[in-house]
């Protein structure tokens, strides 16, 4: 019996040793645990053992290549993941007193790039808008890129008025629409929801249309230097204006910043219909006011009391002929062209009439000669 008992004791000791060896196998854990990781994220690998007090060192391996050997810490932190960090990882620990080293399970670490950054666009393509204009803000994804959600932001706050495709249409702009806009989308990568980077930023400013100015002569109508001074005047002095533009017969001739007075030399080309505009300059974009009422300025009869009113009517008459019909010169040109065409047509008809008459006479003459024979 003693021999049988000895064999049984050896069997039990062997099984106990095998159970202890199996129990001492370390476990590798990823913190935080994800099915896949994104470039730039932080990751900690923790090597867990049941009896850590007996362990003298931990080692970590990637693709069988050691990356940390006999470390006193059971943690390995990668502060910013890159694509090259992807691979198969495992860990081991070492007990000096026993001289044993055991491997953990293998973990396949997957690392992915962030989804492509979206592009924010504004239509029409400008940054400064006038109240009651229309615009469209659109978050554009790369072709073929899927998204579970697209969000627009104004001043870092989500815009709930945008549709599910990341489009915000504004029919009538208001000053409250001014702000900094960005966008972002979500997509599925390796079974997890990932936010893209923020798009480029668009700063929009909505302002009132600059006030319409009035064009008039300066108080000193004529100076001794042979020049004349014209003033582009704003009725509300509190209005923010950065400059003024002067037009003659519809074309711009002068532009000044911060000054509303224009000095023009006397010349034969002085006479004409003059108007002006004010403008503001925001974010490098100019916003022009409507044109002032056109005034016909001439070097003759400048001091007449009814000068401005009479000359305003003169420009209005010219504009009406331009807008709704032909000017006198236009009628003359059109009439001369029409007369020329009529003369050519009459000449052609006369030519063919004479030609037919000659043929008819010749035929009659031939018939008469034939009868006399």
**DSSP reduced 3-state for 110:** coil
Residue 138 CA to residue 150 CA, distance in Å, equals: 10
Instruction: Note whether 7 and 98 are same-domain residues.
Output: yes
* In contact, 129 and 135? CB cutoff 8 Å: yes
Q: Are residues 251 and 184 in the same domain?
A: no
Among 155, 183, 207, the domain-final residue is 207
Determine contact, residues 313/156, Cβ cutoff 8 Å: no
**pLDDT average, residue stretch 150-169:** 96
Q: Do 315 and 219 have their domain in common? A: yes
**Least-confidence region, from 123-132, 163-172, 231-240:** 231-240
149 alpha-carbon distance from chain centroid: 20
Q: Which of 366, 189, 209 is nearest to 278 (CA)?
A: 209
Query: What are the two backbone dihedrals, phi and then psi, of residue 182, each rounded to the nearest 5 degrees?
Result: -145, 175
Decide which of 59, 86, 112 is a domain's last residue: 112
Is pLDDT larger for residue 156 or for residue 7? 156
Is the pLDDT reported for residue 315 higher than 50?
yes
User: What local confidence, expressed as pLDDT, does residue 302 receive?
Assistant: 47
**What's the pLDDT at 368?**
72
Domains of the chain: total: 4
84 and 179 in a single domain? The answer is no
Q: Is pLDDT above 60 for 160?
A: yes
CATH number of the domain at 84, please.
Answer: 2.60.40.10
Are the C-beta atoms of 137 and 152 separated by less than 8 Å? yes
Q: pLDDT band at 190, cuts 50/70/90? A: very high
- Is residue 314 domain-shared with residue 276, that is, in the same domain? yes
Range with the poorest average pLDDT among 49-58, 207-216, 222-231: 222-231
Domain boundary among 74, 90, 112: 112
What percent of the chain has pLDDT above 90?
A: 57
CB atoms within 10 A of CB 290: 13
Domain range spanning residue 127? Answer: 119-207
- Asked whether residue 244 falls in the same domain as residue 203, the answer is no
Q: Which of 220-224, 282-286, 293-297, 369-373 ranks highest by mean pLDDT?
A: 282-286
pLDDT class for 222, splitting at 50, 70, 90?
low
Give 3-state DSSP helix, strand, coil % of the chain, rounded to 5.
25, 40, 35
258: DSSP letter: S
Q: Per the structure block, which two tokens stand in for 178? A: 């001014």
pLDDT score at 308? 46
Do residue 246 and residue 144 come from a single domain?
A: no
Under the banding of pLDDT at 50, 70 and 90, the label for residue 194 is very high
Give the Å distances, CA to CA, from 314 to 39, 253, 326: 73, 21, 16
pLDDT digits (tens, 9 = 90+) for 252-311: 999 999 899 998 887 767 788 999 999 999 999 999 999 999 988 876 544 443 444 445
Cβ-count burial 334-349 (b if 16+ within 10 Å, e if not): eeeeeeeeeeeeeeee
Whether residue 12 is found in the same domain as residue 102: yes
Task: Look at residues 176, 129, 181, 120 and name the one whose alpha carbon lies nearest to residue 154.
Answer: 181
Residues 234 and 258 in one domain: yes
pLDDT-wise least confident of 35-49, 159-173, 347-361: 347-361
Together in a domain, 55 and 31 = yes
Return the pLDDT at 181.
98
| b/e map 245-274, b = 16+ CB within 10 Å | bbbbeeeeeeeeeeebebebeeeeeeebbb
- pLDDT at residue 219 greater than cutoff 80: no
Give the least confident one: 75-79, 314-318, 357-361: 314-318
**Does 49 share its domain with 136?**
no
**Which 8-state DSSP code applies to residue 299?**
S
Give me the chain's average pLDDT, please. Answer: 83
Whole-angstrom distance, CA of residue 138 vs CA of residue 50: 56
pLDDT of 196 higher than 90: yes
Pair (271, 297) in one structural domain: yes
Quote the pLDDT of residue 345.
81
């Amino acid at each position: 019996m003693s021999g049988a008992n000895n064999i049984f004791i050896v069997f039990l000791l062997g099984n106990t040793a095998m159970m202890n060896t199996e129990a001492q196998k370390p476990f590798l854990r990823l913190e935080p645990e994800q099915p896949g990781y994104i470039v730039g994220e932080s990751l900690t690998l923790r090597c867990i053992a049941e009896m850590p007090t007996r362990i003298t060192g931990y080692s970590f391996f990637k693709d069988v290549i050691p990356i940390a050997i006999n470390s006193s810490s059971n943690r390995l932190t990668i502060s910013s993941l890159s694509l090259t960090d992807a691979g198969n990882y495992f860990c081991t620990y070492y007990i000096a007193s026993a001289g044993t080293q055991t491997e953990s399970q293998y973990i396949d670490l997957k690392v992915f790039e962030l989804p492509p950054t979206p592009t924010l666009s504004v239509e029409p393509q400008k940054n400064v808008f006038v109240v009651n204009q229309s615009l469209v803000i659109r978050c554009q994804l790369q072709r073929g890129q899927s998204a579970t959600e697209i969000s627009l932001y104004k001043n870092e706050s989500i815009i709930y008025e945008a549709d599910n495709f990341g489009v915000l249409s504004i029919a009538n702009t208001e000053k409250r629409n001014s702000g900094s806009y960005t966008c972002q989308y979500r997509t599925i990568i390796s079974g997890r929801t990932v936010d893209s980077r923020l798009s480029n930023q668009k700063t929009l400013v909505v302002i009132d249309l600059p006030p319409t100015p009035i064009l008039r002569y300066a108080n000193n109508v004529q100076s001794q230097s042979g020049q004349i001074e014209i003033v582009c005047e704003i009725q509300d002095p509190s209005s923010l204006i950065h400059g003024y533009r002067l037009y003659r017969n519809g074309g711009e001739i002068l532009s000044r910043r911060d000054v509303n007075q224009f000095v023009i030399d006397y010349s034969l080309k002085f006479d004409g219909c003059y108007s002006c505009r004010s403008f503001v300059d925001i974010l490098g974009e100019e916003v022009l006011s409507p044109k002032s009422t056109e005034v016909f300025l001439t070097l003759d009869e400048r001091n007449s009391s009814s000068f401005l009113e009479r000359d305003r009517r003169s420009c209005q008459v010219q504009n009406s002929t331009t807008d709704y019909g032909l000017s006198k010169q236009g009628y003359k040109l059109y009439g001369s062209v029409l007369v020329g065409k009529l003369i050519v047509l009459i000449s052609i008809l006369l030519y063919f009439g004479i030609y037919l008459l000659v043929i008819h006479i010749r035929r009659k003459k031939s018939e008469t000669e034939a009868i006399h024979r």
